[in-house]
Structures are given as structure tokens and as C-alpha cells.
Amino acid sequence: MLDNGLRKPAGVRRQEERCYWTDKADGPCRLKHVRPQMTIASVRIYFYPMTQDRELKLTASHWGFSEWFARRLKPIREQLRGPEAKGVDIMNLMLYENPDHAWQRDKWHQRGNTFQFSFVCDLHPLEAHPSIENISKLMTFYAAVADRAPWPQVRSVATALRQPLSEVDRITLLPYLQWPRGEMISEAKAKRIAKSAA
């Protein structure tokens, strides 16, 4: 479970430790625990308005983006691993209305197994527009922020975030932006829908 009670997106697996016997010339072999190198596997956006009701509403209509976006990480997987990202598998953009709640605002930092950026803004405009339009704009903002990160893995994610949503992307993303989830649409079916609507 996450800090705010939400479940971890599907596809994010726990990294298990592995054990190896180390052969030392000056002494007996010892069992060494080695944690495998981790890869950024989840790119998330958190919303923290002033009231819990608004937080639940924004989360229900936008959280699914992180699940959908995993498909854009697969082609660049090798760019998302490396010594700089050791122990990290999550990337967070934290949007707060209350500046007192924004920890280390306006700069990137590592917190546990996450790379995190906190930003203070008015979230009311998001409530006045369709979530699919909000996500498109948030991706552009997220990309600009990620470009300034000190880790090359996060800057690689910026490239994927900067890629505009195609009509097929919008069709496949829309079911994720509601709760309960809508019927999932395959990319093949989305292409047929987009073609017939053209």
C-alpha cells in the first residue's frame, strides 16, 4: 500500500534479494546478500488539494495514468537502470496546494525507493477540465521538470513524457482515467476506432 492508502499499480514488482557465495583467498567463503539493480518502473502523479474530498476525486480520475504510462517505459528500459538509480523504481511528481506540506519543494530529491519532485500550485483548474486534457498538459510539465533532474534515468523518462498523446493513446488511456476502471481497449482495437472516426 502507498502512503495515502492507494494500491501499487499493476506491474510494479517487488525486488527480491539474491544470495551469492563469495570466494575469498584470505579466508572462508561467505554468503553475500546482493540486491539486484533496480529500474524505474512506475511514473506517478500525486494530487494534494486542501480537502480530502477533492483529493479523492482527482486521484480517482487521474491516478490510472501511471498504470497506462508503463507501456512507454518498456522500449527505454535499459536507459532507466544504472548506478545512479540504485534502489529506485518509482518516480513521483507531487502537486500540493498547501506549501507547508511540500517537502523540499521545487527540486528533485531521492526519498527511499523514489525520485521525487514537489510543486505547489492551484489544483482547481484540473477539476474544471476533462482528465484526458489535464494529463496531456501534465505530461508536458512533468517532462520539463524531469529534464532538470540530476539523474540520467529521470531525464530519459522526460523524453517519453514529452511525446504527445496520439489519438490511439487517448483511446487506450481513457478507461484508466475513471473509477471503477472502464473496459480496457487494446492498441489494435484503438487503431480501428481511430481509423473509423477519421
Q: Has residue 149 been placed in a domain?
A: yes
Q: Has residue 195 been placed in a domain?
A: no
Q: What is the pLDDT of residue 137?
A: 97
**What is the residue range of 64's domain?**
37-164
- In tens digits, what is the pLDDT along the chain, a chain of 198 residues? 444 444 444 444 444 344 334 444 455 545 444 445 678 999 999 999 999 999 999 999 999 999 999 999 999 999 999 998 889 999 999 999 999 999 899 999 999 999 999 999 999 999 999 999 999 999 999 999 999 999 999 999 999 999 999 999 999 999 999 999 889 999 999 999 999 987
Q: Has residue 15 been placed in a domain?
A: no
- The overall pTM is greater than 0.85: no
Give the DSSP letter of residue 88. -
Q: What is the pLDDT of residue 198?
A: 77
Q: What is the pLDDT of residue 37?
A: 60
H or E element: which one contains 18? strand 18-22
Q: What is the pLDDT of residue 195?
A: 92
Q: Has residue 53 been placed in a domain?
A: yes
Rg over CA atoms, the chain: 19
Q: Has residue 26 been placed in a domain?
A: no
Report the C-alpha gap between 39 and 80 in whole angstroms.
5
Query: Coil, helix or strand for 118?
Result: strand
Q: Has residue 66 been placed in a domain?
A: yes
Q: What is the pLDDT of residue 71?
A: 95
Instruction: Indicate the residue type of 140.
Output: T
The number of distinct structural domains making up the chain is 1
Q: Which residues pair with 48 in a beta bridge?
A: 96
Q: Has residue 6 been placed in a domain?
A: no
Question: Taking the C-alpha atoms of 142, 144, 145 and 149 in order, what is their torsion angle to the nearest 10 degrees?
Answer: 120
Alpha helices in 48-109 (DSSP H): 52-62, 65-73
Q: Has residue 179 been placed in a domain?
A: no
